[in-house]
């Protein structure tokens, strides 16, 4: 099979680096273009990134030699992954979509647009249908698909089977978010050593709105938000990768603990599609009383699974649990890649 | 004024050390006896503690030379502070109380007993009256008074003025607890580096029951529990000192944000008593959106104040906020000392 | 090829776990026996290790079901890897050797014995010849081979090509050692948070003596120590894995910087032997001025390479550099496995 | 006594904040002027610093209300403390000195100038005499005095009595430097979590040259450098405050261990001067084998003492030891304040 040529917008940032790492040896996609700011343009990637490659893996050698260009829609590829900063993502992504590129974006700018899917393939793959409307309405040759915020995605993935079977009414969530979520340089070390920061700008609003769209329905080309009350408290902790979340939920139907756990374990809507980045099990349930933990569980399913544990009764809502997912893999670059894979099997790419 | 002679049970542990530190130069109390396990008995304190003094201050020199004895009620003092491990606290504290000592205990064993006060002087000083009943019923010459668990105390202190004015109905709390709360050696470094542990044995049950007693009423020599539903999720983070808590509450009356904040600011029931360890302001309200933070706020009021911040509406209950207090000062040794000071002005000590 | 059956002594500790992880799917060896303390004996491994598996990988399922036995020489295997604590390793390892097992030990007990090889295959593979003498002298059917201390091995591996070409006269080394080096529970979190501990019991003496044996010669069945003055200062830092070392050396011959770097780069004495655990390059030279770093470089060569960098002139001795190696892989379990592989190709195993 | 009015140049940075904290309630000095960049000028300090006050203490209220001005020599004060960034310190400090201010600078720019003292009052107070020459030569009404780099000062202070009595020939030093040394935001948290960085730009050169000036002699208005070979390796570790250094030295005379330790203990050249910031003991000697440690020892003498320990023989040079000092107190702001106090008793200020 000939691989689909893909480009990366914002290739030098933290999420851009993850795209490069995760796309190395990808069976369907081949990175043929890297775009970043004017400052990097014209340099080879290795030179542009000098000293700022912040992953434990090495820069793939073919990528290191690739020339970085500006973010203009003249890249030699069919699809672009966008890791652009929110301050500039909007016009750039629109320009690419207009010019005919498929844009799989991790940026927040278009997530809540009424004609843009906010996609988790395991959860709301059917929302993808809205892109027809998007192209028509905007008169674009391409289109934009987005993935949720890094703290939303693990939460919604873990709760989706419960919503499907038992209908979520309320979600209270307190997060323990990793440092990599703030990009690079991001959080100053003097701010987090021996400390916790009980605030992440804009994060709570994202967590309180995005799940309603993802868990909602697409009806007559319109998104009907799920009727779920959500309260989020977002905190930064001194962990490199992996967002841990302490969650309480109320359900309309009242399952037993066994029914709840079975729903989580049996959830695997992508089974059979053989998407290269899909984990064999999207939700891994741990039964020890002290799991999930970021350091030990973040790489479950190559960072694409979410790990749930400590399911127990909640004296106020119905159930409490802890949920973990890797914030720059399942919560960012890996999510956008899975979206692209899903679009490919649905015939929307390549 | 002649100082009251006090002893410390469990003087070599983490909390025992804090007692020693906080009682150095105390205007009312003078440490005249140190008791610990058989292993330490007979040694001078400096020798008994060798290499295990884990505070940033130094061992007071008078204390270093004091001989450590076993925990038998033959100490030269009137009151004992107990920092005993829960596995042995029960018979030892009872023996001291029976023998006529006032026991101000930080151990959990007697906290929920029906004739033992679980005391926060700012909140339920009137509960102290139960000790008359305790002495009578148990035929003891002395008595036991306890302080709450380290994660309970900051929560209840911060919420007490709201309960008093607006009546609490529900509390949901997720904790970020410091390492010192587990004692020494406590949490292994390999377990917490680049990690969070979403579990602390027994802690959630304490947080879900103790507040109901503290915020309840003493009526006809019986405790009537407050009718508050509480749900706690307890987590260990890589912070040396200072328990941070993310809290949502529901109130019976519906105050405005200003009324809520005023209630917190104006709360100061001990003003005028001049207790040496009482902070000038028991609740300090921070208005920046990223406070309280453990490293910057734990020492507020010499570690005896709790710091509240980020008060904002909750989409599910009424209000959300973050609360911080120093777990080995206000949450342990400092709490027991404040209790003793309060008992002294109430005529129950010395 | 039929795999050699191997056992692990001390299978439940930190290093024992690494043995299990590294031996999963090993092409030459198959774990057929696990031995540990009396307390674990009789349980299946998964049960014996409950809650103490401290690696980011999972317990291989075949291993989880294996029964743990006591450390007596009745195991169904040819070779045992020893991760025993030094307090008990001596008689146990001797009993196994006497009974005919090949013992590849990570324990310190026999390292400096005059008839036991202290082996790094890339450096002193010829020392293996002493085992003939060992067997004869001790009248054992099997024999013991040891690998160096975790802080010694990276140092000696990095310096070996320089010694060979230019003859080392002096080594001054200051270490930044990882927490996993202390085992589990090891260093208490309260001791290392926001801190460095400038002391590791017994470590400096090991670093000041072991290199002299490893870099020495075997002549007429006797070890002639290398004539190198070594001064070590050992420190514990808050890093999970990877010992970093700041090194200054004096050489007899005076190479240029290029000659020095070439010697490091060209060093690859095992090339061609195809040992499964041997890294393609035992010494990786980084030319950025801020490398090696533990988090980014410890897994080089699957944790079996050492990484050198910052080579520059020393105003007192000749050259300064930084050296890093993974302390529980190349510095412990991986070293013992590489030794076993080397012994196998030399006809001493299986 | 009327207090001397002092100003702070660079008042909003990390070191500027320490100046403000340490000068609160200073018996001799009163902060009457705060200067910073154009961006801050015109705002009150509390507003200018918003969210960037990074000390555990609070902003003194009088200071919070003070207006921040630009760094031009029109401040209402006699002496200025300079915490300016090296990129701008040179012309600004010179302008102030020319205009008649005494400049006590923590910046590196003038440290090695031939007519500027690089002062540690306990060590080379006599170097202050060069300011007469400085004023004459440069035709300035005021003058500049500097303190050493944060990693130099603890080292030189600890070694000064040994140099005086036994004459230093060689110093090899490897540092473990704290995060606050890099200013704010300084080191990115993603760069230091679970990591060590074996490089600090420019630091090694400072450590290899500054001690030679400080320990040298002033003769006929010229500095004669001390004849000491110095080799430094500088590393950043995940510690908030406190630079730890692993040191080996060679001495011309050959003292016994007792003589060495006595020289350290007896060193107290400022005794009797009653300088407010001088610690009662400039060098504190710890005899436990695992001290000094940053978290426990950095605040010794209110952060103005250096703490030495682990003195033992070195197999290559003569002696090894560990030395610790607080990098933003004794290593920066506190040093400049002590210099100013010393100048005051010497009649050079106010």
C57 burial level (CB within 10 Å; 0-12, 13-18, 19+) = middle
Q: Top-level CATH class of C150-327?
A: alpha beta
Question: Is a pLDDT exceeding 90 seen at residue A68?
Answer: yes
Please indicate whether, in this complex, the C-beta atoms of D293 and C229 are within 8 angstroms of each other. Answer: no
The nearest alpha carbon in chain D to B301 belongs to: D57
pLDDT band with cut points at 50, 70 and 90 for residue B242: very high
Both tokens of A181, joined, read 């979520």
Q: What is the pLDDT of residues B148-162, one digit of tens each?
A: 999 999 999 999 999
| Cα-based angle A279, A284, A285 (whole degrees, multiple of 5) | 170
Q: What is the pLDDT of residues C19-30, one digit of tens each?
A: 999 999 999 999
Please indicate whether, in this complex, the C-beta atoms of B195 and A295 are within 8 angstroms of each other. Answer: yes
CA-wise closest residue to B299 among B276, B321, B328, B336 = B328
Q: Does A190 touch chain B (CB under 8 A)?
A: no
> How large is the average pLDDT for residues C262-276?
97
Question: Is a pLDDT exceeding 90 seen at residue B82?
Answer: yes
Task: Show Cβ contacts of residue B122 under 8 Å, excluding neighbours closer than 6 positions.
Answer: B157, B160, B267, B268, B269, B270, B278, B282
Q: What is the pLDDT of residues D328-337, one digit of tens each?
A: 999 999 999 9
Q: Does D347 touch chain B (CB under 8 A)?
A: no
Q: For position C51, what pLDDT does the model report? A: 83
Query: Can you tell me whether residue B193 is helix, strand or coil?
Result: coil
Both tokens of C13, joined, read 């500790």
Both tokens of C216, joined, read 């020495």
The span from the CA of B152 to the CA of B149, in Å, is 5
Q: For position D77, what pLDDT does the model report? A: 98
Residue C234 designated active-site: no
Query: Can you tell me whether residue D345 is helix, strand or coil?
Result: helix
According to DSSP, the residues that pair with B9 across neighbouring strands are B35, B82
Q: Does A191 touch chain D (CB under 8 A)?
A: yes
CA-based radius of gyration for chain C: 19
Q: At what angle do helices C203-214 and C150-166 cross, to 10 degrees?
A: 40
Chain B residues with beta carbon closer than 8 angstroms to that of D194: 193-194
Among candidates C193, C288, C296 on the partner chain, residue whose Cβ is nearest the Cβ of A194: C193
Q: Does B237 touch chain C (CB under 8 A)?
A: no
Among candidates C56, C194, C295 on the partner chain, residue whose Cβ is nearest the Cβ of A193: C194
- Long-range Cβ contact pairs of B199-204 (< 8 A, separation 24 or more): B199/A289, B199/A290, B199/A310, B199/B234, B199/B235, B199/B236, B200/B175, B200/B234, B200/B235, B200/B236, B203/B149, B203/B151, B203/B175, B203/B177, B203/B232, B203/B234, B204/B232, B204/B233, B204/B234
The nearest alpha carbon in chain C to A51 belongs to: C288
Q: What is the pLDDT of residues A138-150, one digit of tens each?
A: 999 999 999 999 9
Please indicate whether, in this complex, the C-beta atoms of A185 and D188 are within 8 angstroms of each other. Answer: yes
Please indicate whether, in this complex, the C-beta atoms of C54 and B238 are within 8 angstroms of each other. Answer: no
Active-site position among C150, C234, C306, C326: C150
Q: Top-level CATH class of B150-326?
A: alpha beta
Among candidates B195, B229, B317 on the partner chain, residue whose Cβ is nearest the Cβ of A294: B195
Catalytic annotation, residues of B: 150, 243
Mean pLDDT of chain C: 97
Q: For position D33, what pLDDT does the model report? A: 98
Please indicate whether, in this complex, the C-beta atoms of A295 and C194 are within 8 angstroms of each other. Answer: no
Q: Between β-strands B143-146 and B102-105, what pairing exists: parallel, antiparallel or unpaired?
A: parallel
pLDDT band with cut points at 50, 70 and 90 for residue A51: confident
Q: Does A239 touch chain D (CB under 8 A)?
A: yes
Q: Does D311 touch chain C (CB under 8 A)?
A: no
The span from the CA of C149 to the CA of C108, in Å, is 7
CA-wise closest residue to B298 among B278, B324, B317, B321 = B324
Q: Exposure pattern of D165-182 as b/e (b: 16+ CB <10 Å)?
A: bbebbbbbbbbbbbbbbb
CA-based radius of gyration for chain A: 19
Give the distance from residue A133's alpha carbon to the nearest chain D alpha carbon, in angstroms.
Answer: 41
Q: What is the pLDDT of residues A114-159, one digit of tens each?
A: 999 999 999 999 999 999 999 999 999 999 999 999 999 999 999 9
Q: Does B54 touch chain C (CB under 8 A)?
A: yes
Q: Which whole-number Å values give the CA distances from B236 to A222, A290, A322, B14, B250, in the listed order?
A: 43, 10, 13, 17, 26
A337: left (phi over 0), alpha (psi -120 to 50) or beta: alpha
Give CA torsion, residues D272, D276, D280, D281, to 10 deg: -100
Question: Is a pLDDT exceeding 90 seen at residue B1?
Answer: no
Active-site position among D110, D243, D306, D326: D243
Q: For position B106, what pLDDT does the model report? A: 97
Chain A residues with beta carbon closer than 8 angstroms to that of D187: 188-190
Q: For position B51, what pLDDT does the model report? A: 83
pLDDT band with cut points at 50, 70 and 90 for residue B167: very high
Chain C residues with beta carbon closer than 8 angstroms to that of B179: 189-190, 193
Among candidates D170, D235, D309 on the partner chain, residue whose Cβ is nearest the Cβ of C176: D235
Query: Can you tell me whether residue D124 is helix, strand or coil?
Result: helix
Peptide bond into A334 cis (omega under 30): no
Within B1-110, where are the H helices? 14-23, 45-48, 61-64, 86-98
Neighbours of C291 (CB within 10 A): 21
Residue C150 designated active-site: yes
| Cα-based angle B211, B215, B216 (whole degrees, multiple of 5) | 110
Please indicate whether, in this complex, the C-beta atoms of C295 and A56 are within 8 angstroms of each other. Answer: yes
The nearest alpha carbon in chain A to C56 belongs to: A296
Please indicate whether, in this complex, the C-beta atoms of A51 and C296 are within 8 angstroms of each other. Answer: no
* φ, ψ of residue D284 in degrees (nearest 5): -105, 125
C303: left (phi over 0), alpha (psi -120 to 50) or beta: left
pLDDT band with cut points at 50, 70 and 90 for residue C286: very high
| Cα-based angle B230, B233, B235 (whole degrees, multiple of 5) | 150
Local mean pLDDT, 10-residue blocks, chain D (350 residues): 94 96 97 96 95 90 95 97 96 98 98 98 98 97 98 98 98 98 96 98 97 97 97 98 98 98 98 97 95 97 98 98 98 98 95
Contact C40, C48 (CB under 8 A): yes
Q: What is the pLDDT of residues A257-314, one digit of tens each?
A: 999 999 999 999 999 999 999 999 999 999 999 999 999 999 999 999 999 999 999 9
Peptide bond into C228 cis (omega under 30): no
Chains that touch B (3 or more CB pairs under 8 A): A, C, D
Q: Does D184 touch chain C (CB under 8 A)?
A: no
Q: Does C205 touch chain D (CB under 8 A)?
A: no
Q: For position D69, what pLDDT does the model report? A: 97
Active-site position among C127, C163, C243, C326: C243
Q: Does A302 touch chain D (CB under 8 A)?
A: no
Domain boundaries, chain B: 4-149+332-345, 150-326
C38 burial level (CB within 10 Å; 0-12, 13-18, 19+) = exposed
According to DSSP, the residues that pair with D102 across neighbouring strands are D79, D143
Question: Is a pLDDT exceeding 80 seen at residue B350?
Answer: no
> How large is the average pLDDT for residues B228-240?
98
A194: left (phi over 0), alpha (psi -120 to 50) or beta: left
Q: Does B56 touch chain C (CB under 8 A)?
A: no
Peptide bond into B87 cis (omega under 30): no
Among candidates D195, D239, D291 on the partner chain, residue whose Cβ is nearest the Cβ of C293: D195
CATH of domain C4-148+332-345: 3.40.50.720
| DSSP type of residue B58 | P
Architecture of B4-149+332-345 per CATH?
Answer: 3-Layer(aba) Sandwich (3.40)
Residue bearing the bigger pLDDT, B281 or A52: B281
Chain B residues with beta carbon closer than 8 angstroms to that of C14: 190
Q: What is the pLDDT of residues C231-245, one digit of tens each?
A: 999 999 999 999 999
HSE (side-chain half, CA atoms, 13 Å) at A293: 26
Q: For position D76, what pLDDT does the model report? A: 97
The nearest alpha carbon in chain C to A55 belongs to: C296
Question: Is a pLDDT exceeding 80 seen at residue C14?
Answer: yes
Please indicate whether, in this complex, the C-beta atoms of B184 and C190 are within 8 angstroms of each other. Answer: yes
Q: For position D50, what pLDDT does the model report? A: 87
Both tokens of C175, joined, read 């270490």
The nearest alpha carbon in chain C to B239 belongs to: C193
Neighbours of C103 (CB within 10 A): 31
Q: Does C194 touch chain A (CB under 8 A)?
A: yes
């Amino acid at each position: 099979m000939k691989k689909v040529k893909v480009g990366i917008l914002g290739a030098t940032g933290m999420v851009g680096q993850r795209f490069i790492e995760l796309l190395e040896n990808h069976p369907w996609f081949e990175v043929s273009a890297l775009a970043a700011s004017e400052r990097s343009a014209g340099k080879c990637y290795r030179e542009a990134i000098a000293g700022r490659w912040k992953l434990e893996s090495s820069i793939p050698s073919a990528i290191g030699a690739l020339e970085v260009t500006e973010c203009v829609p003249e890249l030699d590829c069919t699809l672009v992954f966008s890791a652009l900063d929110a301050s500039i993502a909007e016009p750039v992504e629109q320009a690419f979509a207009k010019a005919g590129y498929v844009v799989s974006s991790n940026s927040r700018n278009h997530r809540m647009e009424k004609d843009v899917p906010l996609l988790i393939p395991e959860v709301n793959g059917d929302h993808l249908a809205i892109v027809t409307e998007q192209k028509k309405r905007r008169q674009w040759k391409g289109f934009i698909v987005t993935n949720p915020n890094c703290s939303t995605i693990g939460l919604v993935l873990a709760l989706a089977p419960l919503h499907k079977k038992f209908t979520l009414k309320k979600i209270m969530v307190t997060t323990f978010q990793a440092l990599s979520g703030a990009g690079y340089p991001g959080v100053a070390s003097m701010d987090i050593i021996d400390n916790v920061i009980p605030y992440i700008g804009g994060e709570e609003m994202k967590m309180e709105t995005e799940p309603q769209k993802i868990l909602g329905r697409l009806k007559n080309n319109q998104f009907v938000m799920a009727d779920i009350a959500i309260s989020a408290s977002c905190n930064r902790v001194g962990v490199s990768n992996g967002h841990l979340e302490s969650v309480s939920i109320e359900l309309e139907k009242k399952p037993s603990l066994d029914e709840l756990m079975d729903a989580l374990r049996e959830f695997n809507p992508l089974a059979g599609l053989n998407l290269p980045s899909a984990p064999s099990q999207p939700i891994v349930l741990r039964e020890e009383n002290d799991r999930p933990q970021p350091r030990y569980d973040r790489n479950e399913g190559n960072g694409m699974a979410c790990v749930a544990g400590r399911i127990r009764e909640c004296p106020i809502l119905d159930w409490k649990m802890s949920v973990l997912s890797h914030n720059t893999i399942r919560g960012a670059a890996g999510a956008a890649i899975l979206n692209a894979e899903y679009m490919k099997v649905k015939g929307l790419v390549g």
